[in-house]
A and B are shown apart, each in its own frame.
Chain A
Amino acid sequence: MTRNINITEHDIFNFVFFNELLDKKKRKYIERNEDKFELLDFYRKQKKSITGSIKEETQKRIAARIPAYKINKD
């Protein structure tokens, strides 16, 4: 199969997180062919979840495994 465009993992990441940085031609291509790019769904979910809440129980687990992490008592 021949194609005249390259789309890397970083391009798909940029499409979701830093859309304005993506080359216009690539952006248009991804927009028109979203169903081909499985990674879009992953990065979109991550973008939503990355600022989500951290439970106290999770904080305790992190602190138990990573000594540099100190539970914030505020």
Chain B
Amino acid sequence: MRTDYENLTLYLASSIHEIKNAFSRLQSMTDSLILNIPEEYRHNTDYHKIQFESQHINTQLTQLLVTYKNNEMGYQAYLEDVIMDDYIEEILRRHQKTLSMLNVNIETSVEPNLVSVIDERLVTNVIDTLIYNATQAKAKKIKLSVFCEKQYMVIQVEDDGPGFTDLDTNQADSETDSEIEQPKQKDLLATNTGLGLLFARQITEMHKTKDLQGHTLLGKSGELNGAKVKLCFPA
């Protein structure tokens, strides 16, 4: 027998599933509706804003479902070899138009010939959220970098927004430039940005090897002066 609480969470999860399906259909419809508008009329920012926002809703719903699954039975990360420069280029291409419409400049820097083992779908979800969060924080510059650091492959997202002002920088890891491990769950749940970060932590932590544990670090961007999130995966 399931407890009332279990019934409730199951109900919530099923509802989210339903919402996500319905939303997917809605998104497909708006997309084809927009595609049917002649290109010369289509060229307005709203189209991209609609896409950007609906993509974010979709991302959020996926996050909820993955989180639910992870809690219920331990979500299995599906690891694949990912050629990082092509991967980041795909992400860039997906966001570029929208971001330029929002007057946000996105830059990438990827260590060449890097192949990493990640659950691409989930990591993409995290990166999409971080980019969305940056735009919500009114950032005008975003930098997406991929590099190796110690034994980790790092995907780093920086912006020139206000940064994590509410973080207690006293917790900072002493040796790095003001990087800290993420605060605990209850602190994160308080803010919208926090939800995304919570998910980021969940996803990076699913990536582990015998000796290394994936993790997420937060900090202040030295270059852009805003927020910095480092997603670290065992290399």
Q: Do A and B bind each other?
A: no
Q: Which A residues have a C-beta under 8 Å from some C-beta of B?
A: none
